[in-house]
Structure 1
Amino acid sequence: MEKLRMTSPDLTASNVAKIAELFPGVITESVDAEGNAVSAVDFDLLRQELSDHVVEGPQERYQLDWPGKRAAWFAANAPIAKTLRPVRDESVDFDTTKNLFIEGDNLEGLKLLQESYLGRIKLIYIDPPYNTGNDFVYADTFAASRAEELRRSGQVTDDGVPLVSNTSANGRFHSDWLSMMFPRLKLARNLLADDGVLVVSIDENEHANLINLGTEVFGTDAYVGEIVLKNSSKNDQSYISMQHEYIVFFVKNKAANPGDWTERKAGLEKIYAAFEGFKKTHGTDWAAINAAAKQWYQGFTDSDPVSGSKHYNCMDERGVYFASDISGPNDGQYVYDLPHPSTGGICKMPASGWRYPEDEMTRRVAEGRVHFGPDHSSVPKNKTYLANTETQSLTSIRYVDGRAASKRLASLFGEKVFTNPKDELLLRDIYRAVGVSDGDVVLDMFSGSGSALHAVWELNLTSGNSAQFIGIQVAEELNETLKTAKGAAKQVTTNAIKFLASLGRPSTVAEIGKQRLLLASTKVRGQAPMMDTGFRVLKVDTTNMSDVLRTPDATEQQELAGLEDSVKPGRTAEDLLFQVLLDWGLEVTVPISIERIEGSEVFFVDDDALVACFSEDVTPEVVRALAKREPLRAVFRDSGFASDDARINAEQIFKELSPATDVKAI
């Protein structure tokens, strides 16, 4: 019976396999560190295959380089012996929800999701640590033997979370940030669907590096633009006071995502309501309504969304319109006399002629679709109705009051517990604009307070869709943050610690995110009881499998019995099930039911897509009952069979009753 791998995928081996598909002649054999034969790439032969497409040695080329890039490549590809353990008591609707909250290092989380969500994610939003000189960024290492050294040197927390302070005095100030981001973006790209979108919030410190890094990972034409977010009024910086941030967009494949991104203009309800009021006051005196509208628009600042439509200041029987240019696109396009409907005089013609031929213009005048001035001395205009132009392409400049998101979050918690949360309503609108819809998955690997996850529920609430989310957040300790926090941030962090203590919960950023989802779930469920407002909590942990590798000369007779079981003490059957789901590449949100068959606990996953029995005593009766269900896959605990004969017998039972079932053991 074949054994499951029970580690994250080896992405280097995967890349070798892809090269083998394209160029089978360049694959040879080598020996790994343990003396095992492995496939390897003969780069001399590969160079011949690519001939003049290889850039040699120091030859000049366009590239982004930094100290530590080679190690970042390794960090992205190296497999890890970790798993995701389910936490039912912290979840909501664990058995039915399609949403995930993963607590742990996001690089490890991304590695563990590689096979289950390969090419499945529609949108990845990230708000990574801004490289301000005070933030902590991840320092990735996979050398388990150095764990104690790293803890003593302060490079990891007592819980083993790898952190390093990247101050502006550090000579690798930008390099450390790039090394942290590079492997995460590489893994993120694997998860994105072909038409997927990466959306990144960033400030000026790493804005240029982010674009260069994104195009290196996603391709030279992946960068498609950015939104400049005006969200500050500070004026105390040297040289230039930065009052904005960026939201940068990359697409995985332009052919699959042509960029027909549109959004509904903001403030339309206010405009329509105002014009209805003008009509009640002035009736059909369109000139009076036009004057009232112009006066009304003056009451809005440039940052108010209503001001973006202030040119729509006219009205007729059809509705609100903008008197737009009616001139021809080319010089002398159409030239003829157009009489004014009131004076009968010939109207002044645009310098380049009319846009429409004479018969079409006559029809448009008859239908009331041409805006005339009080007499023929002014050039007529086209009527462009607001009802026909309610949508627009995503605009590159936004005014967003950052205090609004903070107030909404404080209202949810009852007090301010998080500094500068991202605006969940802005993110909701971005999701809608780029086409996140029914069944799509949104991933946030720096989920923080959970704004991007909450935004998915807000999208579903307003659109009727059922998009899903995956959030990943490391258990960053708030008490450590409190040591360096100042001013308002110190008070907010203190509030968060007290709030979590009152619930008996750990003082971490991940816990803030989970509590936000709990509160938002209750609120949204009150508005839409049938909507999926649950989330399944999983935690990154060491593998469920014990290290039982021993050499004969280093193993005593009395130790043999203790090495029979390959599962770590304290790990549950459900822990094992989730590691199997990851190893088999199944989504970890699949529905799971539990039955007792012949006295053994059996998991049935996604209508018999997988049956799993981790009983310590797997009887032939249990095996036969499961084989009769004819599942696609079946997995057992290897030590659950009384002998090798019992395990072989189980395989034979499946071959007889369900030959198509893929049977494996852990």
Structure 2
Amino acid sequence: MEFPKVQKEIFNPISENVKKLAQVFPSVVKDGQVDFEALKAELGQFETASEKLSERYELGWAGKEDAKRLANTDIVGRTLKYIPEDSKNPDTTENLYIEGDNLEVLKLLRNSYYNKIKMIYIDPPYNTGNDFIYRDDFKVSEEENALLEGEKDEYGERLIVNQKSNGRFHSNWLSMIYPRLKVAKDLLTEDGVIFISIDDNEVHNLKKICDEIFGEENFIACFTWVKKKKGSHLSKTIRNMVEYILLFGKNALKIELFGEEAYSNKWQPLVKRTNAPKTLVFPAKKVETTLNDGIYQAGVYGEGTSSLLFETDIIIKNNLVINEITVTGPFVWTQSKLNEELELGTRVSLSSKFGFNVFRADQDEKIKRPVDILDNKMSVGTNEDAYQELLSIFNVENILDYPKPVSLLKYLINTIGYFNKEFTVLDFFSGSATTAHAVMQLNAEDGGNRKFIMVQLPEPCDEKSEAYKAGFKNICEIGKERIRRAGEKIKEENKDKEGIENLDIGFKVFRVADTNIRWFSEAIKSENMTLEESMMSDKDRLDFNPGFTDIDVVYEILLRHRDIPLSAKVEKLSEIGERTYIFADTVVVCLEENVTESIIDKIATIEPMPMKIIFRDSAFGDDITLKTNTMLRLEAQMKKNSGEKKKAYRVEFI
């Protein structure tokens, strides 16, 4: 009997790319290897010897090849550690705050969120000449530069000062941003977008690097944001009033943008609680949806008097219901009215809550597209507004320099989120967490269910700064506290609004850390054992690293499962054992040191049946017969309890 292992690597980007290539050109992938000459032939490229040295147009810099290799290297020996004491409403929230190097974080998230992020916004370092790679305010004294260059912060992350006197000034910045954007692209949905704030220092290079990563054809806009009400009078040349926001799409052909006039709710519900039940037939491929691909069985969906009876299964592929469906409920329209509107081009949407909404064909022309100049007329805010927002939250002057205003982020989110208010926004240079603030504010205003993922390096605050004096040791502490305070303020300001109690103002906190699992077998060494190790059982010392917790191990395993978000529910199955858990209601992680028949029998009774069960190799020692018999018992019990369903499941070992 074969006993598969939990994979050590989280995501292999090269392997994923080879699989995609094999789908398009099966003949060029042989035994997992790419035949590049065959690939060129498939593309109609037949080079002569003299042509192989031909020049081509591209952006190059010192260190580019290393940056490419870095982007395609999987992360090994690192994980995300759950920090419950810093989290807010962890049992119900779908939001995340992650502390650590954002390149490591992006790679750690790549499996769980592959093709899942609708929008990314980042405000990276502008490369002004006196900056650290991850800071929003980069100006430090010469003495501080000498002290800090090459030093590490409290979490061991290296801080690098990139001065204009450096011969690789632009190259260093490009080498920093390239792999992050390359990995981030993998996270975007096919109709996803990335907004990047930047100023004059690197906007030209950033545009070229995005052209290369996302494709020139997927460039959508370069917004000019008027960031000040009054320019600086200290300048000896011009008063700088603007910054830029580059916008690229994963696939520009699938993206539709909406301007300020699109904010009113032009989508209309097709159900009213007071209506008498009607049965409507929706033709195949006429209903859009944000639901994941798959088959949803016929039955009652939705809640209360607005619930609907789906009398046929719902088959979804590529955000479209591809089969004809028959639905009974309190619909506003009759069948003839529905047919008439569909003929006119009216769009029908099925929400993730299984409610129908329609966008009338005659409303399309009323929508304005966004303009590429964002100023006070657009109500997008300025630096002064952002300063006042932080002041009102913390009651501290200059707690963090140069944050973005909430209104600007709300505007950007609305340009892509008009039809769909249930997507995830990622910001991996999150700073003071303006993006999270904007997501919560928008959800309170329009009843949306957008989620946020904030990522920030825990840079220490200068001991002379107002932030440090106010008790904040690093930028992450500022960001997390802003979310806490802003969320409560939003709820208080909207306390009379129906459903406000359901607003998600929580977040789970994770921190990049070393792996908890000894992925390579190691003999237990009795000598030179640390105090922590001496407190561990023999089997725990064999399987796990000092300082681990069971929850840490469960989350590390979760990261290796495609399409399961890090916000998924994790529960202890105390009725089975003190070290047995389940996440996303579908994967059981049994960390018991000994697996008894009772444990096996109880796992087999879990409803719904888990799709995977993970055990420890050490629970069976060297007894292959015990391991084989235990798995046979599990299989027999699973068949017995599943009855006619006979669902497939998988067993793996660590």
Match of 2:497 in 1: none
Query: 2:394 is aligned with what amino acid?
Result: F
Match of 2:182 among 174, 179, 186: 186
Deviation at 1:649, TM superposition (A): 2.9
In 2, the alpha carbon distance for the partners of 1:187 and 1:224 equals 20
Match of 1:173 among 157, 169, 175: 169
Match of 1:392 among 368, 371, 388: 368
1:649 aligns with 2:629: yes
Match of 2:269 in 1: none
In 1, the alpha carbon distance for the partners of 2:215 and 2:443 equals 31
Match of 2:33 in 1: 40
Deviation at 1:563, TM superposition (A): 8.9
Q: Is the 8 A contact 1:200 1:248 kept in 2?
A: yes
Match of 2:349 in 1: none
After superposition, the Cα gap between the structure-2 partners of 1:191 and 1:165, relative to the gap in structure 1 and judged at 3 Å, is: same
Give the TM-score normalised by structure 2: 0.72
After superposition, the Cα gap between the structure-2 partners of 1:626 and 1:231, relative to the gap in structure 1 and judged at 3 Å, is: same
In 2, the alpha carbon distance for the partners of 1:175 and 1:448 equals 24
Query: 1:478 is aligned with what amino acid?
Result: C
Q: Secondary structure at the match of 1:2?
A: coil
Q: Is the 8 A contact 2:134 2:429 kept in 1?
A: no
Q: Secondary structure at the match of 2:254?
A: coil
Match of 1:524 in 2: 490
Correspondences of 1:346-495 after superposition (within 5 Å): 392-399=368-375, 400-416=381-397, 417-435=399-417, 437-479=420-462, 494-495=465-466
Q: Secondary structure at the match of 1:469?
A: strand
Deviation at 1:419, TM superposition (A): 1.0
Query: 2:630 is aligned with what amino acid?
Result: A
Query: 1:432 is aligned with what amino acid?
Result: N
Q: Is the 8 A contact 2:577 2:592 kept in 1?
A: no
Match of 2:505 among 525, 533, 548: 533
Q: Write out per-residue CA displacement over residues 436-456 of structure 1, whole angstroms, 9 at most, x where no aligned residue.
A: 633200000000000011110
In 2, the alpha carbon distance for the partners of 1:390 and 1:457 equals 28
Q: Is the 8 A contact 1:594 1:601 kept in 2?
A: yes
Deviation at 1:637, TM superposition (A): 2.7
Query: 2:45 is aligned with what amino acid?
Result: D
Match of 2:75 among 60, 80, 92: 80
Match of 2:43 in 1: 50
In 2, the alpha carbon distance for the partners of 1:62 and 1:235 equals 41
Deviation at 1:212, TM superposition (A): 0.9
Match of 2:471 in 1: 500
Deviation at 1:102, TM superposition (A): 0.6
Query: 1:105 is aligned with what amino acid?
Result: D
After superposition, the Cα gap between the structure-2 partners of 1:634 and 1:67, relative to the gap in structure 1 and judged at 3 Å, is: same
1:638 aligns with 2:617: yes
After superposition, the Cα gap between the structure-2 partners of 1:238 and 1:40, relative to the gap in structure 1 and judged at 3 Å, is: farther
Q: Is the 8 A contact 2:518 2:544 kept in 1?
A: yes
Match of 1:509 among 463, 470, 475: 475
Q: Write out per-residue CA displacement over residues 594-620 of structure 1, whole angstroms, 9 at most, x where no aligned residue.
A: 2312443432323x3122221223222
Unaligned runs of 5+ in 2: 136-146, 264-362, 376-380, 495-499, 530-536, 640-647
In 2, the alpha carbon distance for the partners of 1:525 and 1:602 equals 37
1:665 aligns with 2:653: yes
Match of 1:380 in 2: none
Deviation at 1:631, TM superposition (A): 1.1
Percent identity over paired residues: 34
Q: Is the 8 A contact 1:116 1:588 kept in 2?
A: yes
Q: Is the 8 A contact 2:129 2:162 kept in 1?
A: yes
Deviation at 1:262, TM superposition (A): 2.0
Q: Is the 8 A contact 1:548 1:563 kept in 2?
A: no
Q: Secondary structure at the match of 1:575?
A: helix
Match of 1:618 in 2: 595
Q: Is the 8 A contact 1:231 1:243 kept in 2?
A: yes
In 2, the alpha carbon distance for the partners of 1:655 and 1:577 equals 23
Q: Write out per-residue CA displacement over residues 570-613 of structure 1, whole angstroms, 9 at most, x where no aligned residue.
A: 2111111111111112211112332312443432323x312222
Unaligned runs of 5+ in 1: 30-38, 140-150, 267-386, 483-489, 502-506
Deviation at 1:191, TM superposition (A): 0.5
Give the TM-score normalised by structure 1: 0.71
Q: Secondary structure at the match of 1:412?
A: helix
Match of 2:518 among 528, 532, 546: 546
Query: 1:581 is aligned with what amino acid?
Result: L
Q: Write out per-residue CA displacement over residues 241-286 of structure 1, whole angstroms, 9 at most, x where no aligned residue.
A: 42210111111112211x34221399xxxxxxxxxxxxxxxxxxxx
In 2, the alpha carbon distance for the partners of 1:592 and 1:567 equals 20
Match of 1:263 in 2: 260
Match of 1:276 in 2: none
Q: Secondary structure at the match of 2:389?
A: helix
Q: Secondary structure at the match of 1:658?
A: helix
Query: 2:211 is aligned with what amino acid?
Result: T
In 2, the alpha carbon distance for the partners of 1:433 and 1:16 equals 34
Q: Write out per-residue CA displacement over residues 9-51 of structure 1, whole angstroms, 9 at most, x where no aligned residue.
A: 121232233333334444456xxxxxxxxx4334344334434
Larger radius of gyration: 1
Match of 2:57 among 30, 51, 62: 62
After superposition, the Cα gap between the structure-2 partners of 1:557 and 1:173, relative to the gap in structure 1 and judged at 3 Å, is: closer
Q: Is the 8 A contact 1:544 1:575 kept in 2?
A: yes
After superposition, the Cα gap between the structure-2 partners of 1:138 and 1:546, relative to the gap in structure 1 and judged at 3 Å, is: farther
Query: 1:412 is aligned with what amino acid?
Result: I
Q: Is the 8 A contact 2:440 2:505 kept in 1?
A: yes
Match of 2:561 in 1: 584
After superposition, the Cα gap between the structure-2 partners of 1:103 and 1:53, relative to the gap in structure 1 and judged at 3 Å, is: farther
In 1, the alpha carbon distance for the partners of 2:258 and 2:440 equals 20
Query: 1:159 is aligned with what amino acid?
Result: Y
In 2, the alpha carbon distance for the partners of 1:636 and 1:95 equals 25
Q: CA RMSD in A?
A: 3.1
In 2, the alpha carbon distance for the partners of 1:664 and 1:388 equals 51
Aligned residues: 506
Q: Is the 8 A contact 1:619 1:641 kept in 2?
A: no
Q: Secondary structure at the match of 1:234?
A: coil
